Amino acid sequence: MRRLLLVLGNDVRRHLKSPLAILIYIAIPMVMTALIGIIFAPRTEESTLPPIAVLLVDQDKSFVSKILLGAFDVDEMKKMFEVTVTDEAEGRKRMEKGKASAMIVIPEGFTLDLLDAKTTTLTVVKNPAEQFLPDVVEEFVNTLAVMLSGAVQAFAEEAKGIRAMLDAPVDAIPWEALGPELGKAQKKMVAAGKYLNPLLIRLKEEKTKAVGAKTQVTKTDLFSIMLPGMAIMFLLFIVQTLMRDIISEREDGKLRRMMTTPLRPMELVGARLLGGWIMGMAVLLVMVALGTLIFRAYWGPFGWFLLLGAAASFWTAAFFGFFSAMVKNRNQAGALGAPVILAFSLFGGSMMNPEAMPKAFRAVGAFTPNRWFIDGAKLVREGNFPLVPLIVLFASGLVLAALAVPALRRKTSV
C-alpha cells in the first residue's frame, strides 16, 4: 500500500508540475460553452421568456382597438411583447418570413360590434415554426377578450348610449346627455368599486422552488444544460493524456526499472487506475467551479453531482487503463484515442441534443459515458437522484477495470 501511494503521489505531483495540457483541456470547454451561450442565449437577463415579437393589424382604428393597443403598452407587457403595428398584407409577409411569433388582427367594425353587444372576432395568426410563444400571445389575447367582454356586458346600457351617440354627427351629439350617461357609468363603477375594493380575492404571484427544479430556459440554464456534455468530453481527453504514462514508461525503461524494485505489478496498476480516477474528479470539480463562477451554471444538489462525477471519472480511468494496455505504443494511442473520444462525444450527446439525434445514434449513445453523464446531470438539475446513470457508469466501469487489471499486469512484464 505504501508503494502504491508513493507511485500515486508521484504521478499527481508530476502532473501538477506541468499542468499546461490539463489547463488547456479545462479552458477549451469553458470557451466553447461561452461562445455557444453568447450565440444562442436569450437576450434579456431579467425576463423568464424572450420578448415575443407580435404584429398588430388594426383595421378598426377606433377607441376599443386603441385600448387593446394600450394593453400592450404597459411596462410589464413591454418586457414580454415587442409589438409592431402594421397592415395585414405586410403583416402576412412578415409572418411568412418568420419575423414574428403571432399576428393579431382587429377587424373593421370591432368597436361598433362590441358596443352593439354583437359577437366579433379577433384573429390570432400563429407562426407554425414556433412551439409555445404563439400560444402565449393567444392566451393573452384570450384574456383581453374575456376582460373586454365582461366590461362591455357590465356597462351594456351605457355602451348602447355611447353607441347611439357615435352614430350621430359630431355637432348633433347631445353633449349634455352624455353627462347623465357618464354619471350612470360612474355610479356603476363606484358600486363595483365597493364590491371590488378591497378585492376579496387577490392574485399573488408566487414562484415555486422545488429542489433543483428549474423549468424555464434562461441564459444560465443554457450553460447548465451544455456544460455537462462539454465537461465529460474533455474529461475523456484529460484522463486519456494522464493514462498515456503507462505506455511511455514501458517504452522509455521506467517500467522496467520499477519492476526491479519490490513494487508489485498490482500496486503499480492500482496506482495508475486510482490516479486517473482522482485526477479526473479533480478536473471535473474545477470545471464545475468555473462553470458556476463564470456562467452561474446550476448543477443541482452538489452531493449527487459529485457522486455522478465520481462514477464518470471511474469509468474513464478504467476505460483508458484498458485502452493503454491494448495499444502497442504512444503513436497508436495518440492516433486512436482522439477518434474514440470524438465518437463517444458525438453519439453520446456532448455535441448535440440527444433528442434531436436519429434513433440509431441514440441507441449507440447508450454505450458511451457521455450519454449517462449528461442524462444523470439533467436528473440532478431537476432535483432527481441519478440512480440509473450511476448504476450504469459504476457497473460498466467495474467491468472495464476487471479487464484493465490483467491487461495492464501483462504489460508490466518487460
Partner 1 sequence: MLEIKNLTKSYDDVLALDRFSLDLKKGEVLGLLGPNGAGKTTLISILAGTLGDFTGTVNFQGRNLFSDRELKNRLGIVPQDMAFYEDLSAMDNLLFWGGLYDVPRADLKKRASELLELVELAARAKEPVKNFSGGMKRRLNTAIGLLHKPDLLLLDEPTVGIDVQAKVSILDIIRNVGAAGTAVIFTTHQLAEVETTCSRIAIMDAGRILAEGTLDELVRIVGERDIVEIVGDFAAAAFSEAVQDLAGARVELLSAADGIASLGVSDTAEIPRIMDRLFQRKLAVTDMKIKSPSLETVFLKLTGRTLRD
> What are the residues binding partner 1 (CB under 8 A)?
3, 6, 10, 13-14, 17-18, 252-254, 256-264, 413-414
Angle, helices 387-411/302-326, rounded to nearest 10 degrees: 30
Give the distance from CA 133 to its chain's centroid: 16
Query: Least distance in Å: CB of 274 to partner 1?
Result: 17
Which uninterrupted H or E stretch holds 213?
none
Query: Least distance in Å: CB of 263 to partner 1?
Result: 5
Q: Nearer to partner 1 by C-beta: 131 or 413?
A: 413
C-alpha cell read off for 1: 500500500
Contact 247, 330 (CB under 8 A): yes
Spatial separation of the C-alpha atoms in residues 93 and 131, rounded to whole Å: 20
Q: Nearer to partner 1 by C-beta: 122 or 263?
A: 263
Query: Least distance in Å: CB of 325 to partner 1?
Result: 18
C-alpha cell read off for 372: 449517462
Q: Nearer to partner 1 by C-beta: 20 or 201?
A: 20
Q: Nearer to partner 1 by C-beta: 14 or 296?
A: 14
Contact 22, 15 (CB under 8 A): yes
Query: Least distance in Å: CB of 264 to partner 1?
Result: 8
C-alpha cell read off for 357: 439525434
Query: Least distance in Å: CB of 279 to partner 1?
Result: 15
Whose CA is closest to 227, among 280, 288, 150? 288
Sheet holding 52-58, edge to edge: 81-85, 52-58, 102-106, 123-126
Dihedral (C-alpha) 294, 299, 301, 303: value to the nearest 10 degrees? -80
Q: Nearer to partner 1 by C-beta: 259 or 326?
A: 259
C-alpha cell read off for 139: 392566451
Query: Least distance in Å: CB of 25 to partner 1?
Result: 18
Which uninterrupted H or E stretch holds 203?
none
Q: Nearer to partner 1 by C-beta: 17 or 97?
A: 17
Within 8 A by CB and 6+ apart from 170, the residues are none
Whose CA is closest to 56, among 44, 70, 42, 43? 70
Q: Nearer to partner 1 by C-beta: 33 or 241?
A: 241
Query: Least distance in Å: CB of 412 to partner 1?
Result: 9
Query: Least distance in Å: CB of 18 to partner 1?
Result: 6
SS3 348: helix
Query: Least distance in Å: CB of 2 to partner 1?
Result: 8
Q: Nearer to partner 1 by C-beta: 3 or 66?
A: 3
Cα angle 219, 40, 135 (rounded to 5 degrees) comes to 80
Q: Nearer to partner 1 by C-beta: 248 or 384?
A: 248
Contact 106, 145 (CB under 8 A): no
Within 8 A by CB and 6+ apart from 169, the residues are none
